[in-house]
C-alpha cells in the first residue's frame, strides 16, 4: 500500500476512488505495488502512471504497423493492432465507468494487453508457437515486454490484467475481467465490419439467430453486448455477460473463425507471411551462433521478431533473401554527361 501527503492531488484522487467507486473496485491506494518500489507521483495515481508509461513505450507505438486481421491493408480504414487496442480501451472504460470500477486500471490494462503481439497478427504468433520450445503466447510476451524488454515497472494489478486478457486465464481483479470481455467484444465487432468492407462477407451472411438477438447494425450490436455485461454485473464482485448474451457472442466468434479467421480471402497472403517469420527466425538463429551462448539464442530471436512491425519484418526479409541490383554511388552521372554533349 502506498502512502500520500494529504495535500497532494494524488491523495485527493485516491480518496475520491475510495468514496465513489464500487466496494469491489480496485483502489489505487491499496495497490499491491511494483516489483521495484519508486517514489510515487504527487499528481497521478499509480494506475494512471502505469497507463502513461505504456502509452509512451516504444512497443505501443509499433502497434500502428502490426496486423489485426488483414495483412498490410490497402485501405486506411481497416483496423491495425493499435486501433484494436484503442477500441478495447474505449469499451473497457465504458463498462468500468458504468460499474463504478477503476477506469484508470482498465485503461492501463487495455493499452498494454497486446504489446507482445507479433507481426502479421495471429498468423505470426502461430509460426513462433511452432518454432519456439514451449510455445509462444502473445499475452505472456506482453508481460515480458513491460517487465523485461522495456522495464516499465508496472503495478502487479496491471501486469495481471495484461497476462489474463486472453482465453483460459482467470483475472484477479474485476478491472481485468472487464478487459478480458472488452477484448472479445471489440474484435468480434470490428472484424465483422472490416470483413464486410473487404467483401469477404456481408451482414446477411451472419448467423440469423445472432442477428435477431444483437441486430445486424454494428453500433446496436456493440451496444447490446456492452449493456449485457453491465446489467448482468451491477452490484456483483465478478464481471460477466448474461448467459444468453454470452451464448450468442461465442457463437458469433466461432462463426468468424470458421468463415474469416481461417481459410478465407483475408488469409490468402498468410503463407507468405509465415515464410517471412520462419526464414528470419532460422537466419537470426544462425547469425547469433558465433557471438552468444546458444542457450540464449532462441530467446533473443523471439524477442526481436515478435517486436517487429509487419513492414519491418518484410524489409528485413528483402534485405537478406531478395537479390538487389548493383548500387552505383553516382546515380546521376548520365545527367552530367548529357550536359557536356547537348548544345
The answer to whether 84 and 68 are in contact (CB under 8 A) is yes
In a domain, 335, yes or no: no
Residue with cell 533473443: 300
Residue with cell 517487429: 308
**Which domain CATH number covers 112?**
1.10.3210.10
Give how far Cα 153 sits from Cα of 53, 150, 246, 332, Å.
Answer: 9, 9, 35, 52
The answer to whether 11 and 42 are in contact (CB under 8 A) is no
How far apart are alpha carbons 2 and 25 in whole angstroms?
17
In this prediction, the residues of the chain whose per-residue pLDDT falls under 50 are 343
In a domain, 253, yes or no: yes
How far apart are alpha carbons 312 and 310 in whole angstroms?
6
In a domain, 148, yes or no: yes
Choose among 91, 114, 118: nearest CA to 309: 118
Choose among 281, 288, 264: nearest CA to 320: 281
Counting beta carbons within 10 angstroms of the beta carbon of residue 264, is it exposed (0 to 12), middle (13 to 18) or buried (19 or more)?
middle
Output the pLDDT for position 325. 76
Output the pLDDT for position 270. 87
Strand partners, 155: 34
Residue with cell 521495484: 36
How far apart are alpha carbons 158 and 130 in whole angstroms?
29
Provide φ and ψ at 118, rounded to 5°: -80, 170
Q: Alpha helices, DSSP H only, in the chain?
A: 9-20, 46-55, 58-62, 81-98, 103-112, 121-131, 138-144, 156-163, 174-197, 208-214, 218-233, 243-256, 270-288, 294-306, 310-321, 333-341
DSSP letters spanning 246-257: HHHHHHHHHHHI
Residues 6+ apart with CB under 8 A from 116: 59, 138, 139, 140, 141, 142, 143, 144, 145, 306
In a domain, 293, yes or no: no
Cell of 308: 517487429
In a domain, 211, yes or no: yes
Output the pLDDT for position 335. 56
Output the pLDDT for position 292. 87
Other Cβ atoms closer than 10 A to 80: 21
Q: Which long-range contacts (CB under 8 A, 24 or more apart) does 278-285 make?
A: 278/127, 278/131, 279/317, 279/320, 279/321, 280/305, 280/313, 280/316, 280/317, 280/320, 281/127, 281/128, 281/131, 281/305, 283/320
The total of structural domains in the chain comes to 1
Residues 6+ apart with CB under 8 A from 147: 35, 154, 159
In a domain, 223, yes or no: yes
How far apart are alpha carbons 316 and 302 in whole angstroms?
15
Instruction: Please give the residue range of the domain that contains residue 29.
Output: 9-267
CA dihedral sign of residues 274, 280, 283, 286:
negative
Provide φ and ψ at 67, rounded to 5°: -65, 140
Residue with cell 486465464: 169
In a domain, 328, yes or no: no
In a domain, 311, yes or no: no
Q: What is the pTM of this model?
A: 0.92
Output the pLDDT for position 213. 96
Amino acid at each position: 500500500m502506498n502512502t500520500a501527503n494529504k495535500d497532494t492531488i494524488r491523495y485527493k484522487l485516491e480518496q475520491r476512488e475510495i468514496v465513489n467507486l464500487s466496494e469491489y473496485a480496485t483502489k489505487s491506494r491499496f495497490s499491491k505495488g511494483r516489483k521495484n518500489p519508486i517514489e510515487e507521483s504527487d499528481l497521478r495515481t499509480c494506475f494512471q502512471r502505469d497507463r502513461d508509461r505504456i502509452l509512451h513505450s516504444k512497443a505501443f507505438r509499433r502497434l500502428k504497423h502490426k496486423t489485426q486481421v488483414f495483412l498490410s491493408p490497402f485501405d486506411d480504414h481497416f483496423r491495425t493492432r493499435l486501433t484494436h487496442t484503442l477500441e478495447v480501451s474505449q469499451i473497457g472504460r465504458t463498462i468500468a465507468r458504468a460499474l463504478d470500477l477503476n477506469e484508470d486500471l482498465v485503461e492501463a490494462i487495455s493499452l498494454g494487453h497486446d504489446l507482445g503481439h507479433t507481426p502479421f497478427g495471429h498468423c505470426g504468433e502461430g509460426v513462433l508457437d511452432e518454432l519456439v520450445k514451449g510455445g509462444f503466447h502473445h499475452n505472456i510476451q506482453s508481460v515480458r515486454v513491460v517487465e523485461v524488454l522495456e522495464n516499465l515497472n508496472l503495478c502487479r494489478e496491471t501486469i495481471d490484467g495484461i497476462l489474463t486478457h486472453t482465453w483460459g486465464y482467470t483475472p484477479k481483479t474485476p478491472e481485468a475481467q472487464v478487459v478480458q470481455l472488452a477484448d472479445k467484444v471489440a474484435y468480434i465487432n470490428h472484424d465483422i465490419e472490416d470483413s464486410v468492407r473487404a467483401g469477404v462477407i456481408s451482414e446477411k451472411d451472419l448467423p440469423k439467430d445472432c442477428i435477431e438477438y444483437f441486430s445486424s447494425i454494428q453500433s446496436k450490436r456493440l451496444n447490446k453486448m456492452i449493456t449485457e455485461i453491465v446489467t448482468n454485473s451491477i452490484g456483483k464482485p465478478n464481471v460477466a455477460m448474461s448467459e444468453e448474451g454470452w451464448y450468442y457472442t461465442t457463437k458469433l466468434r466461432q462463426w468468424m473463425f470458421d468463415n474469416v479467421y481461417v481459410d478465407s480471402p483475408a488469409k490468402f497472403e498468410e503463407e507468405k507471411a509465415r515464410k517471412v517469420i520462419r526464414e528470419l527466425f532460422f537466419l537470426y538463429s544462425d547469425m547469433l551462433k558465433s557471438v552468444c551462448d546458444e542457450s540464449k539464442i532462441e530467446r533473443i530471436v523471439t524477442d526481436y521478431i515478435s517486436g517487429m512491425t509487419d513492414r519491418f519484418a518484410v524489409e528485413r526479409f528483402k534485405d537478406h533473401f531478395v537479390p538487389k541490383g548493383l548500387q552505383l554511388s553516382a546515380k546521376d552521372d548520365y545527367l552530367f554527361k548529357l550536359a557536356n554533349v547537348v548544345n
